[in-house]
Amino acid sequence: MPQRKGGHLVFDDRCEIEEMLKDGKSFREIARKLGVSPTTVSSYDFCKEFDFYTCERRERAPFVCTQCSKRGFCTYEKARYVASKAQSAHDERLSLAHVGISCKPYELRMMVDTVKKLLSQGQSLQAIWATHSEEFLICERTFYNYMDKGVMGLANIDLPKKVRYAPRKKRAHGEPKMNLEGRTYSDWCALPDDLKVLTVQMDTVEGLRRNSQCILTLHFVRLFFQLHILLKSKDQVQVKAALDALETYCEGTFTDIFPVILTDRGSEFLDFSKIETGLNGSRRTSVFYCDPVNPGQKGAAEKNHVELRKILPKGTDFDGLTFSDVSEASSHVNSYVRAGQKAAPMALASLTLPKSLLESLGVRAIPPDDVIMNPRLLEA
């Protein structure tokens, strides 16, 4: 009998049917022996090549000539049940059921056109499915399979290149340039959980080695959101000026928005007293530093730089960037739906951060299908 209830007949079952039909058993008797329904037995397969002039007895159960008394001299086409042929026919049907594309041509064309457009804008399949899964008739994994088959001219080469991380060179841990006692990563780890959750990770992104300008990034881990601010130079004065501007944009809520900042030991960040001191001379935040040569301790910020690098890849001349360029890039990066998230970072940030802060930095929401995640965004 089938290996499980409701399962398919196996070859041994078909051999049993063949023998019992030769013995003149009815469908009900065979079904009772196999533990299946009579309709399962009666739906066995015959050869597709048949004579249209058939005996009337073949129109009735059991549809075969095995027990017919006229079988020896009848000139009509004979019908008999052969287990091996029945199994082959079943296997063929089962195989065909899993071949082909389970949607209509126009539906496939609409889906492929949408995917092609968004892939050309630098979006990944994960991001595309995060915003279009309800309107697409197949899942992301199935679409990958279609691409492997070359459906509609798409190929894996059309996908954004996977980021390749080169192993970091190990360097000796040098002494900090300033006394960071009480501000180390272990000190940050000792903070209450509510403060660690609200921590903002700070870093910089650079262009060519000869460039003066760089981008200051402030990453809100809980929101997956990152601010990007163009600095005229990578030094302590510019970092202080940028944070002072942010304090103005926050309109009195800077301490609530940036209660704790975690950064690396780059020279531009080491004057913690200037970073922590607000416009009115009072303390506005607390700064902590990652261990030397250990950027993974602020891994969320580092990971989000990957998205910014899609628009500003390494080798980009940062001295040619303007405030508008960085605002545009920041808007698209933060409107890009990440895999596993139901909403873009911008949607979360707009509910949490001051409107004046976002507007002052020129960061706005971009419709999902208009998001461009490649250098074409800033091309004239």
The set of residues, in sequence order, having a beta carbon less than 8 Å from that of 325 and lying 6+ positions away, is 230, 378
Count Cβ atoms below 10 Å from residue 323 Cβ, excluding itself. Answer: 11
Residue with tokens 């040098």: 174
Contact 13, 1 (CB under 8 A): yes
Q: What pLDDT, on the 0 to 100 scale, is given for residue 59?
A: 65
The set of residues, in sequence order, having a beta carbon less than 8 Å from that of 331 and lying 6+ positions away, is 346, 362, 363, 364, 365, 366
Task: State phi, psi for 244 to the nearest 5 degrees.
Answer: -65, -40
Q: What pLDDT, on the 0 to 100 scale, is given for residue 162?
A: 45
The Cα–Cα gap between 236 and 248 comes to: 19
Q: What is the mean pLDDT of each run of 10 residues along the chain (380 residues)?
A: 67 83 83 82 54 62 73 70 74 57 70 84 84 80 72 58 50 57 94 94 95 96 95 95 96 95 94 94 95 90 93 94 96 89 88 95 94 89
Question: Hey, what are 258's tokens?
Answer: 């940036």
Residue with tokens 């080469």: 157
The Cα–Cα gap between 201 and 260 comes to: 9
Please classify residue 239 by burial: count the beta carbons closer than 10 Å to its beta carbon, then call 0-12 exposed, 13-18 middle and 19+ buried.
buried
Question: What torsion do the CA atoms of 25, 29, 33, 36 make, to the nearest 10 degrees?
Answer: 120
Angle, in degrees to the nearest 10, between helices 83-96 and 11-22: 140
Contact 63, 50 (CB under 8 A): no
CA distances from 130 to 106, 140, 159, 191, 225 (A): 22, 9, 16, 35, 17
Q: What pLDDT, on the 0 to 100 scale, is given for residue 51?
A: 44
Cα 44 from chain centroid (whole Å): 45
Contact 368, 338 (CB under 8 A): no
Q: What pLDDT, on the 0 to 100 scale, is given for residue 47?
A: 46
CA distances from 48 to 9, 10, 228 (A): 20, 21, 69
Please classify residue 10 by burial: count the beta carbons closer than 10 Å to its beta carbon, then call 0-12 exposed, 13-18 middle and 19+ buried.
middle
Contact 284, 255 (CB under 8 A): yes
